[in-house]
Chains A and B, each alone.
Chain A
Amino acid sequence: SLPDTVVNGIEIYSTKINCKVTSRFAHNVVTTRAVNHADTAKEVFFDVELPKTAFITNFTITIDGVTYPGNVKEKEVAKKQYDKAVSQGKTAGLVKASGRKLEKFTVSVNVAAGSKVTFELTYEELLKRQKGKYEMYIKVQPKQLVNHFEIVADIYEPQGIKELDADVSFITNDLMDVLTTSFSGKKGQVSFKPTFDQQRSCPTCSTSLLNGDFIIRYDVNREQPGNVQIVNGYFVHFFAPQNLPVVPKNVVFVIDVSGSMSGQKMAQTKEALLHILNDVREDDFLNFILFSSDVSTWKENMVPATPENLRMAREFVRNFRVTGATNINDALLKGIEMINKARETGIVPERSTSIIIMLTDGEANTGESRVDKIQENVRNAIGGKFPLYNLGFGHDVNYNFLEKMALENHGLARRIYEDSDANLQMQGFYDEVANPLLTDVDLQYPQNTISDITQNNYQHFYDGSEIVVAGRVVDFETNSFVADVKGHGALNDLTFTEEVDLKEMEEALKEQEYIFGDYIERLWAYLTIEQLLEKRKNAQGEEKEKLTAQALDLSLKYHFVTPLTSMVVTKPEDNEDSEFIADKPGEEVKADQISHAYATQLNYQPPSNPYYFVDGD
């Protein structure tokens, strides 16, 4: 009999996930080697789930020692190749959204009897700090037992690593021994190398227990509020001051109570609001606006979060009911008016910040229902003075509209997935924005020294987060690089200054040869593309074309698979070229498809039974 490692003639010789993180920029390589022990050609699958925020940078297939590399092309060019392949009856594989945070990269290739195949997927992402930690998420789900399985993450942080943990959902006592986490100074490592037998779901099973989440969390030392690094003509500035008091906030919750919110959605919304009310600080001000066909308010004006008001707020939350249609326009305008009035009449403290958090599960279908008009009304009413956050609940929500509206009002949108933990998702979002430490944060650099900087002003800096700005250094004559960060705190105005001696930094980084040297340049490119794509969502006409051209140019130059590009792997087969294409659809897709962030299409010519993958959520 064949050993357990061989399933349907295929042996997975090894699967290695190698992660190198340098200054929050993660470079991950997933490699799988397989052998076809069968007498006939077999199809070998390679599935990887990667974060939606990541950009694929390379994918290669090596068959019997011959490597077929990936090339990043403009999406339209790649699509023509793809369409041609499909029209010829070739097979296509796609990457689909997988859950809330991931996208599934699926490829398969036909491997001749006795042949070996190696798949190698590389992707990069900038790890974002949330609630005081950077998080790297790896989905582990090998289809069968693997001879050599390993995950190794090497982390290098110039500020020094403060804490490092790995949270593995499928861990058992037996596997604890093969999971090691260590850090010292600037370096940290997480290693997970289960033996073949340790992978078995039971001593006699031929199925793998490696199935679940592998999450690496860490944070860096913060002796200083900021850290500037400069390598090869590019700089990155990380800014996250500590120990500042929280700026009081004036929060208006705008809650959709239309008929579609009935049942579990409303129960979870109430549960989340009740929990949030426990966390509201005494110096905050708040109010609730409920909307269905009509708009109603809890209190006429913003009220302080006194114990008595909070008691009444809880009672109000427990008792409101769902009914009617969805009037988003009037509800938001009411909320904006309420905040503006509170500010003008001095109801809320001068040193405070205002936010509107809207939760809805549907589309505007009563009152003003033209989304363009609603956006215009809201934009004009807010006038850039405070952010709007939109939480889109469930599958039917017009998420594109909510996202556009939030982005053009300096906020952001989040999906609340209709699931048992929807209340926790809402609370989690609130926790992120509950503690603003600075408002109107402006990061300034000497103008004639730098160019091409990423976004350098933010309405808020929230406790536990981090602001990242990157750019090019154009004046190499200068010896020092000075960055000033100005912001308004709860009590005072602050100006933080970071000064870097370029020569000293160059010397220090020379010692770190093992890190990939162009990480700041790639981090800058990643961040620039991400921000251009976000701006593009709200742009029109020439502006949109310009942003698209810039993002495309950088995607091609830095080999990133973004919504504007695709990766094509060409494999000569039977005297005919076969294309493997990986891409990431743009935002033009319908709202319910927006989470198909990647579509990887792999075309090849199987000997028989050509088939098609379908891209679906």
Chain B
Amino acid sequence: PHFIIEVPQKDGALCFNIDVQPGVVLNLIRDPDTGITVNGEIIGEKDPSSETKKKKSYFGRLGIVDPQMDLQIEVTPQKITLWSGGRRTSFTWMDTVTITQNGLSVTINKKKNMVVSIGDGVTFVIVLHEVWKKHPIHQDFLGLYTVDSHRMSTKTHGLLGQFFHPFDFEVFDVRPGSDPKKPDATMIVKNHKLIVTWGSQKDYRMDSGHGTKVSCWFVHDNGSGLIDGVHTDYIVPTLF
């Protein structure tokens, strides 16, 4: 999956990919104060033996936990399941429904996306990416967007959560790269000096079919140097 980190104070964005094996669960957000945690399980291509240039991986299962609300939400491209107090409610992506409960609001927009608001100040959007059912390689997958995180504590971490706090970076020495349209540059971030490449990724919040291009500085090698530690540090044993 690809990650896009918008940095408003720098009027720009950073991107990186994380490539891990299908079945691996990555911690995306963890707030030790509120307990809110978001993890994502990776899925691969339908036919792992198919000869594609590079194996793609996506998020196939997302789990959101809020222990204070005794809430768990599991989202797959097939269904959406809410557990509250150990009791289960499930929906499909064919539903258009709003679920409200003690400060929680979940809105499923049929075959498009779902918006999860926990209290005031934490809102995630999960986008359903549907591919042609008979596509030989690709399968349906999910995207996660944090649209509001201001109620999460400063201790929030995770592959996405660590970027909820203001951070600084500097890009200089922009120079031609191997692709003339994608120049390379040097970036200083978190005391690391990295080689980055100018490119673009897509934001699918508004248009889950085509997406909107977001230009960004791409950090190679699974976000090495940009993320705290290495990407394998974010592997967790289970979704919840």
CA distance in complex: A495, B99 (Å): 7
Interface positions of A from 473 to 514, Cβ below 8 Å from B: 489-499
The reply to whether A493 and B91 form a contact with Cβ atoms under 8 Å apart is no
Q: Which among B85, B89, B96 is the interface contact of A244 at CB below 8 angstroms?
A: B89
A-chain residues with CB within 8 Å of residue B91 when the two chains form the complex: 243
Q: Is A177 an interface residue (CB 8 A)?
A: no
Q: Is B50 an interface residue (CB 8 A)?
A: no
Write out, one digit per residue, whether chain B residues 90-134 have a CB within 8 A of any chain A CB (1) or not (0): 111011111111001000001000000000000000000000000
Indicate whether A493 sits within 8 Å of B100 (C-beta atoms), given known contacts A243-B90, A245-B87, A245-B89: yes
Indicate whether A493 sits within 8 Å of B99 (C-beta atoms), given known contacts A245-B87, A245-B88: yes
CA distance in complex: A304, B96 (Å): 35
Q: Is B34 an interface residue (CB 8 A)?
A: no
Q: Is B84 an interface residue (CB 8 A)?
A: yes
Q: Is A225 an interface residue (CB 8 A)?
A: yes
CA distance in complex: A491, B104 (Å): 11
Q: Is A224 an interface residue (CB 8 A)?
A: yes
CA distance in complex: A437, B214 (Å): 44
The reply to whether B100 and A224 form a contact with Cβ atoms under 8 Å apart is no
Indicate whether A496 sits within 8 Å of B85 (C-beta atoms), given known contacts A243-B90, A491-B101: no
Interface positions of A from 561 to 605, Cβ below 8 Å from B: none
The reply to whether A243 and B89 form a contact with Cβ atoms under 8 Å apart is yes
The reply to whether A492 and B95 form a contact with Cβ atoms under 8 Å apart is no
CA distance in complex: A404, B97 (Å): 36
Q: Which among B85, B97, B100 is the interface contact of A497 at CB below 8 angstroms?
A: B97
Indicate whether A224 sits within 8 Å of B104 (C-beta atoms), given known contacts A243-B89, A245-B87: no
The reply to whether B97 and A489 form a contact with Cβ atoms under 8 Å apart is no
The reply to whether A491 and B97 form a contact with Cβ atoms under 8 Å apart is no
B-chain residues with CB within 8 Å of residue A493 when the two chains form the complex: 99-101
Instruction: Report the minimum CB–CB distance from A242 to chain B (whole Å).
Output: 8
Q: Is A223 an interface residue (CB 8 A)?
A: yes
A-chain residues with CB within 8 Å of residue B18 when the two chains form the complex: none
The reply to whether B89 and A495 form a contact with Cβ atoms under 8 Å apart is no
Q: Is B82 an interface residue (CB 8 A)?
A: yes
Instruction: Report the minimum CB–CB distance from A228 to chain B (whole Å).
Output: 12
The B contact surface, by secondary structure, is strand
Interface positions of A from 524 to 570, Cβ below 8 Å from B: none
Indicate whether A491 sits within 8 Å of B95 (C-beta atoms), given known contacts A243-B89, A245-B87: no
B-chain residues with CB within 8 Å of residue A494 when the two chains form the complex: 97-100
CA distance in complex: A471, B89 (Å): 31
Q: Which among A223, A243, A489, A496 is the interface contact of B96 at CB below 8 angstroms?
A: A496
The reply to whether A224 and B84 form a contact with Cβ atoms under 8 Å apart is no
* Of listed A241, A496, A499, residue having the most chain B CB within 10 A: A496
Instruction: Report the minimum CB–CB distance from B31 to chain A (whole Å).
Output: 23
Instruction: Report the minimum CB–CB distance from B82 to chain A (whole Å).
Output: 7
Instruction: Report the minimum CB–CB distance from B93 to chain A (whole Å).
Output: 9
A-chain residues with CB within 8 Å of residue B92 when the two chains form the complex: 223-224
Write out, one digit per residue, whether chain A residues 215-249 have a CB within 8 A of any chain B CB (1) or not (0): 00000000111000000000000000101110000
B-chain residues with CB within 8 Å of residue A490 when the two chains form the complex: 87, 89
Q: Which among A241, A491, A496 is the interface contact of B84 at CB below 8 angstroms?
A: A491
CA distance in complex: A229, B91 (Å): 22
B-chain residues with CB within 8 Å of residue A225 when the two chains form the complex: 95, 97
Indicate whether A224 sits within 8 Å of B89 (C-beta atoms), given known contacts A491-B82, A491-B101, A493-B100: no
Instruction: Report the minimum CB–CB distance from A240 to chain B (whole Å).
Output: 12
Q: Which among B87, B94, B96, B98 is the interface contact of A491 at CB below 8 angstroms?
A: B87
Instruction: Report the minimum CB–CB distance from B149 to chain A (whole Å).
Output: 23
Task: Name the residue of chain A whose CB is nearest to the CB of B91.
Answer: A243
Instruction: Report the minimum CB–CB distance from B119 to chain A (whole Å).
Output: 15
CA distance in complex: A490, B84 (Å): 10
The reply to whether B95 and A496 form a contact with Cβ atoms under 8 Å apart is yes
Q: Which among A223, A491, A495 is the interface contact of B85 at CB below 8 angstroms?
A: A491
Interface positions of A from 240 to 284, Cβ below 8 Å from B: 241, 243-245
Write out, one digit per residue, whether chain A residues 116-151 have a CB within 8 A of any chain B CB (1) or not (0): 000000000000000000000000000000000000
B-chain residues with CB within 8 Å of residue A499 when the two chains form the complex: 96
The reply to whether A497 and B89 form a contact with Cβ atoms under 8 Å apart is no
A-chain residues with CB within 8 Å of residue B104 when the two chains form the complex: 492
Q: Which among B84, B98, B110 is the interface contact of A495 at CB below 8 angstroms?
A: B98
Indicate whether A492 sits within 8 Å of B87 (C-beta atoms), given known contacts A223-B94, A224-B94: no
Instruction: Report the minimum CB–CB distance from A539 to chain B (whole Å).
Output: 36
Write out, one digit per residue, whether chain A residues 12-54 have a CB within 8 A of any chain B CB (1) or not (0): 0000000000000000000000000000000000000000000
B-chain residues with CB within 8 Å of residue A497 when the two chains form the complex: 96-98
Interface positions of A from 89 to 120, Cβ below 8 Å from B: none
The reply to whether A491 and B100 form a contact with Cβ atoms under 8 Å apart is no
CA distance in complex: A223, B93 (Å): 9
A-chain residues with CB within 8 Å of residue B85 when the two chains form the complex: 491
Write out, one digit per residue, whether chain B residues 59-91 have a CB within 8 A of any chain A CB (1) or not (0): 000000000000000000000001011011111
A491-B87, A494-B97, A495-B98 known; 17 new pairs, CB 8 Å cut-off, are A224-B94, A225-B97, A245-B88, A489-B89, A491-B82, A491-B84, A491-B85, A491-B101, A492-B84, A492-B101, A493-B99, A493-B101, A495-B97, A495-B100, A497-B98, A498-B96, A499-B96
The chain B residues found within 8 Å of chain A, CB to CB, are: 82, 84-85, 87-92, 94-101, 104, 110
CB-defined A-B contacts under 8 Å, sample of 15? A224-B92, A224-B95, A224-B110, A243-B88, A243-B91, A244-B89, A245-B89, A491-B89, A491-B101, A492-B100, A496-B95, A497-B96, A497-B97, A497-B98, A498-B96
Q: Which 5 residue pairs are nearest across A and B when measured between Cβ atoms? A: A492-B101, A497-B96, A243-B90, A495-B98, A223-B94
